[in-house]
Structure 1
Amino acid sequence: MADGADLDPAERERWRLDTLREYRIMDTDREPAFDRVTKLVADLFDVPIALVSLVDDKRQWFKSSYGVNVPELPRNAGMCQFVVTDEQALVVTDPLVDARLRDNPLVTGEPFLRFYAGVPLRAYNGAILGTLCVIDRKERPAPDAREIERLEDFAAIIMAEAGLRRTVAERDEARHMLERALNFSGIATWQYDARTDRLSTQGAGAELWGSGFEATLATGNGFFDLVHPDDRAALRAILEESIANRTPYLAEYRVLNPERGVRWNAVRGDWDGQPGSATLTGVSIDITEQKSRQENANLLMRELHHRMRNLFATVSAIISLTRHAASDVDDYVERISSRLDALNRAQNVLLSANFMTGSMHALMREVEAAFPRIHWSGPDLLLPENALVAMALFFNELATNAAKHGALTGENGRVDVRWSQDEGDGEDRRFRLTWAESGGGREVVPPERTSFGTLLMERSVKNNLGGTIERHWEPGGLTVEIALPARWREA
């Protein structure tokens, strides 16, 4: 419940203390608004002491005190605790006969209190935060109902002032949080007066425009000094059109940030809703990262378009040339499928990386998955897209031929692939690879004619990679050696 009526005593006390903390008033400095009330109450009731007393879990602290100099007392030493506990006014005309108070040190010793009248300081939600009380050192008759009512009216004035402080504190805290959030988010808010050219900003100004931006951004003309020269004329035209037609001000522009270099900002503003208003209010947002991602996406799309064209050209050439080499339709389909599988292996490697380079080890794992008895070793290298496709086709032609005519036709046949790069960094440094078949169940002899597969391998190695290729038909199986310029860096 908002008023705490359904809470047990311990929970109700926690609720009361939480409400007291909301007001952010404990241990604050003295304030004239409160001191005027205690002085006025003391004069009105003709008492030497008047207090605005706030009670927390351990003490009663005096926000305003008239007639005493102590700032606080232990909670169990004063009389205000009973107002808080009973949640109603308390009047004591002779504490010496009150069982709760006769042994109180403020009664038995200085200042020898003999009269007390206190009313609750009631918060917006009904919680009792403390008291407004009047105290005398001599006995006096109890105040009548009208006097208690007056004291309660002054207590309401006290709480109205405290409520105003609470509202101001919450507003300042919210504004502070908003400013911090704006700073963290790279957003600045601003207001521009078109009649006076005055510009005010809040938020991430230093992040958007650089340190020392305040002096430059005091005016609209000063702002344009921070805009990239190539964007100033267009941005001025957009602002002038917005001023002339009272239309929203929307633009993206570059700024010359002295610490962060050229940055992209987006600005969104609109006019105050009052007729004839000359105040334009808006936000500026750093969109450099978004612009960078957009440029990268555009670059990637262009690169993908380029690579798709290359891929389609390669597929077209394979289809066309395979047609002349195939013996029948089934042979044609098989050859086409095999070479398209090789292209797919290359694309899988590229897709798993960055589309632009691929790992030699990743390619060999793809080849090994299709032809399990191929074993390989060598340093992992990063191959550009054209080299990766060429190597994929090269390995596919050799592996397919080994499965049909070479070592992989026998159960014990295998292929060992080894590669390395020469030491040093001279222009004659070479990448060297050996394909060695062994354990096949049949004699290996040179082919009677040059097949399309052979031409495809030579084109891949010589034309695409700028290397050399040698084939040796040894008794134990085919050996192929290639040498290329060592242009690939290690992964």
Structure 2
Amino acid sequence: MTNNELSRQVAGISQLSLAAALDQSVDCVKVIGLDGAVTYVNPNGLCAMEIDTPSDVLGKRWDTLWPEEGRPHIASGFATAQAGGVSRFRAHCPTAKGNSRWWDVSVSALRDDTGKLISYLAVSRDVTDAELSRQVLETATRELHHRLRNTYTMISSLIRGFARGDAHNDAFAGQMAERLIAMGRAQALFTSLEVPCSLVELIDALVLPFGSAFCPVATDKVRDMPIARALADTIALVVGELAVNSSKHGAIAHGGAITLSSEDQDGDIVITWHEVSNRPVQATSRDGGQGLNLINRIVRLREGAIDLDWQPDGLTARLRFKGGVAA
């Protein structure tokens, strides 16, 4: 249904019924004039914003009720609505009494029967609890990653210390330390739940630590693109599981080569893992094996697809995630 069709349906509802529906909404519903001034606020909106009387906001520019950092969202929302779209954003705005609140906001156009823009509809939902929980989780995640990187560093130091004085073990310890440090760098990419991650940096951090002269690991034609944090986590889990499987049964364990590539196909991310092992493939599944089942479950949860093409000497796995490229 288009905005114009919706507007015509709304026009068929009596003003009394429409006002009653808006008054019952648990969200903060506002009608904003073309000059940016507030012309209507529902009662629950007044309550949510801790506004004593409608006259405190009616006739005032909506953007002036927001902190300076939130006002660009308002201007962008009006522009999107004028173009026929619906703008959505999350921003911080204290109540009239100064209490901190976070809001999920949508801005859309209200048009008359001829399609002429007559005002804007702004709907705000209090998401303070969810936003604070997200911030707590993000802070805890950063602390966990920090501690994990410290653990990698400590283990690297211990390995080097135990191997000191033995030329053979010292070389092995150096290789292991480099892998641990690289894994720590991979963790450092995940510093925020919101900020997109570079696909090139992610793949390099995930697979290059496993490379060696015995089994080179290379990235070929990996197109750099921003990907959302949730998808980055999924890619890390899947590629990590493929690497673990190879370190047990494939090229990393028995020699060979691994190549990764990626491309953007109409907004979908396609990642290809191509592995050739010096030892022929013994089995494509095994009793009690959970690795490939785990990969399939992880990919399905992200509404993705995976194709496993087993060859006598290795595996080609193709991952596709719809709409994976971050805006």
- TM-score where L is the length of structure 1: 0.31
With normalisation by structure 2, the TM-score equals 0.44
Larger RCO (CA within 8 A; separation ≥ 6) = 2
